[in-house]
Chains A and B, each alone.
Chain A
């Protein structure tokens, strides 16, 4: 086959998109509820995840973890373990990780497992011929310690809090606004530490070929993961290849390289054999990352007509000493509602508890439910319907920065959602009862900032008129395989079954990766640009302007000439490379995805249990790329919100910081029977400032608020406010008496 003819397009998002390409193409596949192309593999068990498809001769590693909370490892019963059946190595290497990498770190996280910062921190890896032998030896591992656990800090109330100057802001005089307001609330809410609990626990298999390592792992952002692994091992990123074709859920827990990946690579190097290291579910809870708990003080004030005059949101979160990430709780607060007097406060406490990091919508996921619950309290105090109260306070422009919004559909979502849900049937607090059940309705706005990250992809149009999409993007269940296939098919005018999308290989062009809800918009834009470059080349061959070229069903059509793509290609391969970069539109405009969510709950006056009977949402997040996968992302996000409102809380031991409920029997994620029918509606929307596809993030938006709608519904049902998540039976019974 001849060398491909290379074309490329690079685009920096400095101006609003005016070309509107995806509204002018005619294949008609974009936005449709196309089935996932990888579906047949996933439903038949033939999609291969990290701890599968082992190379021949693979041996097994099991991480040994610290039994103290702070101090140093001074000795280890290595000799005893080495004598156990099948044991090949006991590895204590200063390159092994202490904490996993944070998202987009692109450099090694804290290494050196001999110094201990939290209980359960990995300190060694035992490798044996079989999984059972490795696990047995790890159970019998004994370390000697210089134990300084008494100096550890394990409860937020005892932590030292830092207040980074860049994360504090104020305007006007909030105290005066509160004092002079017709109505005001000054409330404190608590949200718990949470665990991602993706169904596939972190796992990695590593093998070396000369000085190069290949790692099959479960990661979300292969470009930065490659750099993190290389830096951890002390080798060039060129010597690292990471494969993550299928990722069994991430939710932020797999943004950065983690213990198992680095340990597997070191062990494989030392033994000259492939080594597999899979985290046990309890190790996933205790050694990867957690969402920080938070204490949040919210102050809101309004005048007699319900027009807001003040917004205050101060948060206290935690992380390990020296970790730079802290959950940006108030991220959406500056631009959500009116109020000329404002204050944002952010405080980070240092705890000797498992590393805190990004979990689905870091910031808004815990900040929005709290501010939305406080909004409900203020609406109630002012005697105004909560939907109407929100509508009265939607700003024309960002009230903190003065910037215009790129697009703002919150009011549309609230109005439309209220109508679809039957909001007018809502009654006064405590007024609706069915036997032992108290029934209530609640509303929340859903807000999540929208982002664009650099991303590159290749689209290869082969001589037979089929195409291949290649990028190191991951599909963590989000639908990347689907939407990237659809985007390329739409721009090239091909039926989707003539497009193959190859992802999850760090040797492919570097994408944004999956995180922050920027994956679809960023990687999708790069695929669109790559396909557009190919399209322009096809127009040249058809001797027409690209605007006059129609590509549909494998044909190129221009000025009454209709040729198959194979004829146009005449044996050539066209290889387009597309790159998207963020630009001025991310500075000049406040960008966000919007939604309104509604919940109906039934609260048992006998047992205190809360049933979510109905959930509904209306979202505006720009162009919808696949109606089926977009809906699933929203359903999943809202069910995350059910867990947050009612079930999920990591309980840590105040004596040593260890996780008390560190598995799926004790940490309660929603199960099937917890979940009602969920109605999802998308407004027809475009955001030209977001990216050339005019699409925005979806997957996180859906969980930014749900828990607020549920606690507001509980307040409507019972007449009581619950300011500590999750709202478990004991808390309900205490108030119902």
Chain B
């Protein structure tokens, strides 16, 4: 069965011999995009977070065959070592990682999370549905689907707050502003 995916801006057709292949394993084993990590294969840790059609999902919880025609952004599409996105630079500056295994998922998740905030999506902590601010508590709540066992959480919050300021000025902080990820891809 053929599945056509647009991964990090490049359209490619994947000839899948097995419908059981998860989107995560398709990325890692068939497309050699190993930046997306497998931490639990059960949707519990967030290491495999990718952006599909603008929304962050756990790629281990969905099958590749379900994504024909979809646009997918992985960590490789966020920025490269020579051309890092603001979030990636902020993670380095604030030491928002130690072992680095959850880091691609954290950064992809944060990229989409900031866009959710710009679009005014509420979280469980948002008191006023019309106004979700970028408070530390909002960042913590919205990033709690991404586990970091090295436990760099305070540094991750610092990095996201810092980068949000930087990208906010670039994107004008307007609702519906394009994802920094897509810009960098």
Contacts and interface: CB of A to CB of B under 8 A. Distances in A.
Interface in B1-56: 17-18, 20-21, 25, 28-29, 33-42, 44-45, 47
Nearest to B104: A45
B20 A45 contact: no
A679 to B, nearest CB: 10
Nearest to A85: B18
Contacts of A201: 38-40
Contacts of B88: 40, 43-44
B20 A132 contact: yes
A52 interface: yes
B107 A200 contact: no
Given A44-B76, A45-B74, A200-B39, A35 B152 contact: no
Given A44-B76, A133-B18, A672-B143, A663 B40 contact: yes
Interface in A603-649: 628-629, 631-633, 635-636, 639-640
A677 interface: yes
Contacts of A40: 81-82, 84, 88, 92
B57 interface: no
Interface stretch (B114-122, B126-134, B154-162, B171-179): B154-162
A36 B104 CA distance: 16
Contacts of B180: none
Given A477-B150, A479-B98, A664-B40, A45 B35 contact: yes
Interface in A321-349: none
A55 B125 CA distance: 47
A40 B91 CA distance: 9
A281 B41 contact: yes
Q: Dominant SS at the A interface?
A: loop
A318 to B, nearest CB: 24
Interface in A193-223: 196-201
Contacts of A45: 33-37, 74-76, 103-104
A281 B99 CA distance: 17
Contacts of B154: 635, 675-678
A246 B100 contact: yes
Q: Dominant SS at the B interface?
A: loop
A635 B155 contact: yes
A721 interface: no
A673 interface: yes
A503 to B, nearest CB: 13
Contacts, number: 190
A278 interface: yes
Interface string B143-173: 1111111111111110000000000000000
Given A131-B25, A136-B20, A672-B144, A42 B97 contact: yes
A130 to B, nearest CB: 6
A44 B80 contact: yes
Most buried by B among A51, A199, A631: A199
B42 A38 contact: no
B81 A44 contact: yes
A231 B85 CA distance: 46
A43 B37 CA distance: 12
A47 interface: yes
A44 B25 contact: no
A669 interface: yes
Given A200-B39, A281-B39, A632-B155, A248 B81 contact: no
A365 to B, nearest CB: 14
A49 B37 contact: yes
B35 A664 contact: no
B102 interface: yes
Contacts of B70: none
B78 interface: yes
Nearest to A475: B99
B99 A52 contact: no
Interface in A538-556: none
A639 B153 contact: yes
A302 interface: no
A665 interface: yes
B84 A200 contact: no
Nearest to B124: A673
A90 interface: no
Contacts of A672: 139-141, 143-144, 146, 148, 153, 156-157
Contacts of A249: 98-99, 101, 149-150
Interface string A27-69: 0000000011011111111111101110000000000000000
A247 B92 CA distance: 18
B99 A247 contact: yes
A478 interface: yes
Contacts of B18: 130, 132-133
Given A635-B152, A665-B44, A675-B151, A198 B34 contact: no
A476 interface: yes
Contacts of A632: 95, 98, 150, 152, 155
Most buried by A among B91, B99, B143, B152: B99
A636 B151 contact: yes
Nearest to B40: A281
Given A131-B25, A199-B45, A640-B151, A43 B34 contact: no
Contact of A636 (B98, B139, B146): B98
Contact of A35 (B76, B79, B92, B146): B92
Contacts of B97: 39, 42-43, 477
B98 A35 contact: no
Nearest to B28: A52
Nearest to B139: A672
Interface in A5-40: 35-36, 38-40
B39 A663 contact: no
A42 B103 contact: yes
A130 B16 CA distance: 12
Given A44-B88, A632-B95, A665-B42, A132 B141 contact: no
Contacts of A157: none
Nearest to B43: A665
A666 to B, nearest CB: 9
A570 interface: no
A278 B29 CA distance: 13
A673 B34 contact: no
Contacts of B99: 198-200, 246-250, 476-477
Interface of B: 17-18, 20-21, 25, 28-29, 33-42, 44-45, 47, 74-76, 78-82, 84, 88-89, 91-93, 95, 97-104, 107, 136-137, 139-141, 143-157
9 contacts: A39-B91, A44-B78, A44-B104, A51-B38, A247-B99, A281-B45, A635-B151, A635-B152, A673-B137
Given A45-B75, A248-B37, A631-B95, 15 more contacts: A43-B107, A44-B75, A45-B104, A46-B80, A51-B38, A130-B18, A196-B149, A199-B37, A199-B47, A248-B99, A280-B41, A281-B39, A632-B98, A674-B144, A676-B154
